Amino acid sequence: MPGNSPADFSVVTDLNAFSAHLKGGVVAIGNFDGVHRGHRAVLGEALELGKRLKCPVYAMTFEPHPRTVFNSDHPVFRLTPFDAKCEILKDCDLNGVLMLPFTREFAGVEAQDFVRDILIERLAISHAVTGYDFHFGKARKGTPDFLRQAGDNHGFGVSIVSPENDEGAEIISSSRIRQALSDGEIPLANGLLGYRWFFDAHVQHGDKRGRDLGYPTANLSLGVGCPLKHGIYAVKARVDDELVDGVASFGRRPTFDNGSPLFEVHLFDFKQDLYGKMLRIHLVSYLRGEEKFATVEALIEQMDQDSEEARSALASMQPISALDLQLTQVT
Ligand SMILES: Cc1cc2nc3c(=O)[nH]c(=O)nc-3n(C[C@H](O)[C@H](O)[C@H](O)COP(=O)(O)O)c2cc1C
Ligand SMILES: Nc1ncnc2c1ncn2[C@@H]1O[C@H](COP(=O)(O)OP(=O)(O)O)[C@@H](O)[C@H]1O
């Protein structure tokens, strides 16, 4: 039931292994990349219905992102890879997630077959909830109206949730959030998400120069095609069970090598071997662009200033929502 302990959350990645306890439930269908405020309006509607109908509520989602399957040369940058998406869905109090592998073959399934074979025969849904712009099935023929009609014909409920707008009356969308990240507009991206954007990555070896500068940095790779603006950021990093303040640089180090883009985090008041560890980085604010310095001393002076700015941005920081608090909580 909604509100159950997270231990009841099922992640189903094979339709043949669909959990019996989710059968007959309310399904929220979508890609849900980012699980942003608009997505959470859809999930909220599904949770309300689940309470009213006294049945389980789960999300149905697709992996990889459908647009990546159609255009593999330009994969969609994922605000939330599958694991992060599941974690947030769990924090939203859902009972589970059903992931359907998205292939070209699956994309060719007719909308009416998807309804009959999956929603009715396999899942026996009591209600489907989607966003206003969700389309499914071959040639995207499964429009919101089609789904409503199918529900009337087959006896399941359908709710189509209208667009969720931000404070400036603009529709919240994953692509707007990606754009905000590429503009370095971190408060905007975080505001649209309703939590501070984060990513997980393993610490790699670098050029071992940072320690000589007095700024050792844990080097991380961001996903292919990450649109995040190059520059210097104030961040919170989850290291094991600790949340540590830091300052980070994302870019190509024009002072030294113009190499491939790396996200490098210097953690304040911290000294530990981090190689191979998984860190979670929450972005708090953008401080400045990357620059080419004439001397190492000039770079260090600037890094000192960046650190001061990051420390003061982090000192006044408050969680932006209950979800944000939950996601930054350390156990
Ligand atoms: C706060 C901060 C600011 C930085 N700013 C710049 C910069 O403006 N230009 C630049 O070339 N490198 C910048 N860097 C990257 C450093 O050049 C890099 O961390 C250093 O070369 C160490 O690399 P390593 O981790 O591979 O040893 C910055 C790093 C930090 C932590
Ligand atoms: N305060 C700190 N912040 C980040 N990394 C630290 C810190 N203290 C120690 N380290 C360790 O130092 C490494 C970074 O040192 P650095 O000289 O920049 O080497 P590399 O070029 O391999 O990143 C990190 O990967 C981590 O293991």
Whose Cα sits closest to atom 17 in ligand 1?
253
Whether residue 2 is predicted with pLDDT greater than 50 in this model: the reply is no
In short, whether 89's Cβ falls inside 6 Å of ligand 1 is no
Average pLDDT, the chain: 94
What would the CATH number be for the domain defined by 196-328? 2.40.30.30
Interval 61-86: pLDDT, tens: 999 988 888 888 888 899 999 999 99
Predicted local confidence at residue 330, as pLDDT: 80
Single-letter code of the amino acid located at 323: L
6-161: CATH architecture: 3-Layer(aba) Sandwich (3.40)
Report how far residue 132's alpha carbon sits from residue 143's, in angstroms, rounded to the nearest whole number: 9
Mutation pick for ligand 2 pocket among 209, 272, 303 (CB with most ligand atoms within 8 Å): 272
208 C-alpha to ligand 2 centroid (Å)? 8
Please answer whether residues 263 and 220 qualify as being in contact, where contact means their C-beta atoms are separated by less than 8 angstroms: yes
Domain coordinates in residue numbering, the chain = 6-161, 196-328
- With CA atoms as reference, report the closest residue to 191 among 320, 96, 309: 320
Whether residue 118 is predicted with pLDDT greater than 70 in this model: the reply is yes
pTM: 0.94
In short, whether 118's Cβ falls inside 6 Å of ligand 1 is no
Counting from 1 in the atom list of ligand 1, the atom nearest the Cα of 288 is 8
Whether residue 1 is predicted with pLDDT greater than 60 in this model: the reply is no
Phi, psi values for residue 155, rounded to 5°: 85, 30
Tokens (6 digits) for 269: 């008041």
3-state SS of the chain is CCCCCHHHCEEECCHHHCCHHHCCCEEEECCCCCCCHHHHHHHHHHHHHHHHHCCCEEEEEEECCHHHHHCCCCCCCCCCCHHHHHHHHHHCCCCEEEEEECCHHHHCCCHHHHHHHHHHHHCCCCEEEEECCCCECHHHCECHHHHHHHHHHHCCEEEEECCCECCCCCECCHHHHHHHHHCCCHHHHHHHHCCCCEEEEECECCCCCHHHHCCCCEEECCCCCCCCCCEEEEEEEEECCEEEEEEEEEECCCCCCCCCCEEEEEECCCCCCCCCCEEEEEEEEEEECCCCCCCHHHHHHHHHHHHHHHHHHHHCCCCCCHHHHHHHCCC
Whether residue 246 is predicted with pLDDT greater than 70 in this model: the reply is yes
- What ipTM describes this predicted complex? 0.96
Identify the band that residue 4 occupies on the pLDDT scale cut at 50, 70 and 90.
Answer: very low
Interval 181-220: pLDDT, tens: 999 999 999 999 999 999 999 999 999 999 999 999 999 9
Report how far residue 131's alpha carbon sits from residue 28's, in angstroms, rounded to the nearest whole number: 9
Tokens (6 digits) for 89: 């869905």
Predicted local confidence at residue 47, as pLDDT: 98
Mutation pick for ligand 1 pocket among 221, 265, 285, 299 (CB with most ligand atoms within 8 Å): 299
In short, whether 208's Cβ falls inside 6 Å of ligand 1 is yes
Identify the band that residue 113 occupies on the pLDDT scale cut at 50, 70 and 90.
Answer: very high
Please answer whether residues 36 and 172 qualify as being in contact, where contact means their C-beta atoms are separated by less than 8 angstroms: yes
Question: CA separation (Å) from 102 to 27, 35, 131?
Answer: 18, 18, 19
Starting from the CA of residue 257, give the closest ligand: 1
